Structure 1
């Protein structure tokens, strides 16, 4: 898209942003867990709300930020309750659309894996939607495993929410291997959420 067209669209749509009320963690599956119980950090990008460097955007290499997570003190599930799988969902609620843009839906993350890095998101077997990290990817707007940030020029900063969810039961392998949508995953995790947390990165593109 030519810069002049992007800037014009940004001006016309400047007030269409902030769909926070429609983010993944607001779905019914999280009704019993309104507060974050996981601490999610990004060793290579910094504290939450950090500005994403160009290598993490569509203008650069499009790398997914490295993420790590752990339970908050005294927030881990009780004795005898184990995490069977992790889920990771990335969204942009500041896109000028009715719903947040899905930048990544990743299910079937093994319970022993509590961090991800860029190489994990490379495709291992596209026929099974399987990635090198040993988990599956779902649907994004451009049919790629991870859609790097590319907000409209001059639309202001966009926030990218990386939400990690602990599940008490594994998701259906058939669902995961079929490139599930965010909505299908949201329905599938009802009564399976043990806790969640998120890290937020920020990105802005300017044209003067």
Structure 2
């Protein structure tokens, strides 16, 4: 696997295709998103990584400053911008009740999500899927992006419920104005 990682070393999705850069998800950047488990731009502990590489697939603690008045829902998206594909890999998509000011460790578990958390489909499945970069590919950046939406996301145009929509269909279809947003980047390398 290390050889494969080295061969793909110059191939990375990049940040251009992230939710953060979508025209419909633009807005002020005043939310501060933090974690007790890692600082912005710093390494993520192994416990937050995928089980098949020795982690626990435990979603990290996340906290944020209060969203602005009129926030109906929070949208959290976690993307790996260093995956050797055309677009970033979406590791998690979640709708959160804005009354909660944080998520404890494991709150994004597919089996037992925290109260006020609605897990949607990601590239990998529902719930949190921790880092598992290709061995030898170099550092991967996992961007946790939080958006304060003015109206709840219940349906996308057509008849597809949000629970069934794939991220690349759901995210561009969000029309609720973004009142505020913030992000936090964790790094992991094998």
Hey, what does 2:16 align to over in structure 1?
Answer: 21
Distance 2:111 2:78 in 1: 20
Number of corresponding residues: 183
30, 34, 57: which one aligns with 1:37 = 30
Hey, what does 1:197 align to over in structure 2?
Answer: 182
62, 75, 88: which one aligns with 2:76 = 88
Instruction: State the shift of 1:70 in Å.
Output: 0.9
- TM-score scaled to structure 2, two decimals? 0.87
- Aligned with 1:197: secondary structure? strand
Distance 1:65 1:14 in 2: 27
Residue 47, structure 1, aligned to residue 39, structure 2: yes
For residues 99 and 18 of structure 1, do their structure 2 counterparts lie closer, same or farther at Cα, with a shift above 3 Å needed?
Answer: closer
Residue 162, structure 1, aligned to residue 144, structure 2: yes
- Aligned with 1:185: secondary structure? helix
Q: How does 1:102-113 map to 2 (within 5 A)?
A: 102-107=90-95, 109-113=96-100
- Aligned with 1:175: secondary structure? coil
RMSD: 2.1
- TM-score scaled to structure 1, two decimals? 0.80
Residue 66, structure 1, aligned to residue 61, structure 2: yes
Distance 1:156 1:123 in 2: 28
Hey, what does 1:121 align to over in structure 2?
Answer: 108
- Give CA deviations for 1:151-200 in whole Å, capped at 9, x if unaligned: 11111110000000000001116733x34322233233224211110111
For residues 181 and 159 of structure 1, do their structure 2 counterparts lie closer, same or farther at Cα, with a shift above 3 Å needed?
Answer: same
For residues 56 and 123 of structure 1, do their structure 2 counterparts lie closer, same or farther at Cα, with a shift above 3 Å needed?
Answer: closer
Which ranges in structure 1 are unaligned for 5 or more consecutive residues? 1-5, 126-130
127, 130, 134: which one aligns with 1:145 = 127
- Asked if structure 2 preserves the Cα contact closer than 8 Å seen for 1:86 and 1:110, the reply is yes
- Asked if structure 2 preserves the Cα contact closer than 8 Å seen for 1:171 and 1:188, the reply is no
Which ranges in structure 2 are unaligned for 5 or more consecutive residues? none
- Give CA deviations for 1:17-64 in whole Å, capped at 9, x if unaligned: 251111111001134x2x522100002x13211211111111211111
Rg comparison, structure with higher value? 1
Higher fraction of helix = 1
Instruction: State the shift of 1:103 in Å.
Output: 0.4
